[in-house]
Amino acid sequence: MNRFQLVQQIKGKRSFLCVGLDTDITKIPKHLQSHANAIFEFNKSIIDATKDHCVAYKINTAFYEALGVKGWEAMEQTVDYIPKTHFTIADAKRGDIGNTSSQYAKAFFETLNFDSITVAPYMGEDSIRPFMEYENKFVIVLGLTSNKGAKDFELQKMGDEFLYEKVISKVAEWGTPENLMFVVGATQSSELSNIRKLVPDHFLLVPGVGFQGGSLKEVSEHGLNKDCGLLVNASRAIIYASEDESFADEAKIIAQQYQQEMNGYLNF
């Protein structure tokens, strides 16, 4: 999917919601846990229930890799099941020396047909370039993350800049808003206006609303650009909205609430 198609979808749906499929076998409703293909069955119900209210799905690969071959198969089935209208994110946080990153890119962009992948920037340009060689695919580089540990490196000053500022400015030289996005945690909304000065046109993937306490209102106030420019992710708040058989209906209600709130913030 390209940037234009993503923006069109946001305009049509009046939503910039990304549903996070952090599907944990121990947290899905009891009646599904004994199912031979429990993870995929759960994801299928969540996708069916939320697809009218969101524009993207983020699959956090850790939850699937933890289950071995079966988990990987459930991930493949899930990516294939997500409607082609929706932007897909492999939240894999990869990045390695160039020839290894090429294999990661092949794994997530060719073997699995994801539209994008999250990548850690620590190893520099040659670790990120291979992901940028694909047309209509995006690399989503960690900028300023939502977790406490962000203060250990990302929020350390290097001269008069934070490390995360250096990372975002430098990485932005390697790609364009057509193939590059950045992760900014919703819990870091005080830095969002500053980040918008560094990358006014790029999309930002913003996780951390819901369970981590980030504010959708603040993120929208400081992060929206002329094309929306935001994908706000919620995982647990949506997929575990209920533990009983009505889990998909409850997930739909929460996704719809996010969509309605987002509609009020959009400036087009």
Ligand X SMILES: O=C(O)c1cc(=O)[nH]c(=O)n1[C@@H]1O[C@H](COP(=O)(O)O)[C@@H](O)[C@H]1O
**What are the residue numbers of the active site?**
93
Asked if 208 is part of the footprint of ligand X (rule: CB under 6 A), the reply reads yes
d(CA 141, CA 122): 10
d(CA 77, CA 81): 6
Asked if 115 is part of the footprint of ligand X (rule: CB under 6 A), the reply reads no
What is the end-to-end Cα distance of the chain in Å, rounded?
A: 22
Cβ closest to ligand X, residue 132 vs residue 237: 237
**What is the DSSP code (8-state) at residue 57?**
E
Contact with ligand X (CB under 6 A) among 88, 127, 233, 259: 233
Contact with ligand X (CB under 6 A) among 79, 216, 234, 248: 234
CB 13 within 8 A of CB 55: yes
Stretch that binds ligand X, among 9-17, 98-106, 202-210, 219-227 (CB under 6 A): 202-210
Cβ closest to ligand X, residue 139 vs residue 159: 139
Asked if 235 is part of the footprint of ligand X (rule: CB under 6 A), the reply reads yes
Asked if 121 is part of the footprint of ligand X (rule: CB under 6 A), the reply reads no
Contact with ligand X (CB under 6 A) among 20, 95, 130, 175: 20
What dihedral angle (degrees, nearest 10) is formed by the CA atoms of 165, 206, 225, 15?
A: 170
Asked if 183 is part of the footprint of ligand X (rule: CB under 6 A), the reply reads yes
d(CA 36, CA 104): 29
Rg of the Cα trace of the chain?
Answer: 18
Stretch that binds ligand X, among 4-12, 79-87, 205-213, 258-266 (CB under 6 A): 205-213
Q: Are strands 230-234 and 161-162 parallel, antiparallel or unpaired?
A: unpaired
Asked if 60 is part of the footprint of ligand X (rule: CB under 6 A), the reply reads yes
Q: What is the DSSP string of 18-51?
A: EEEE---TTTS-HHHHTSTTHHHHHHHHHHHHHT
Asked if 211 is part of the footprint of ligand X (rule: CB under 6 A), the reply reads yes
CB 143 within 8 A of CB 166: no
Asked if 185 is part of the footprint of ligand X (rule: CB under 6 A), the reply reads yes
Asked if 145 is part of the footprint of ligand X (rule: CB under 6 A), the reply reads yes
Asked if 153 is part of the footprint of ligand X (rule: CB under 6 A), the reply reads no
Binding site for ligand X (CB under 6 A): 20, 22, 60, 91, 118, 145-147, 183, 185, 207-208, 210-212, 233-237
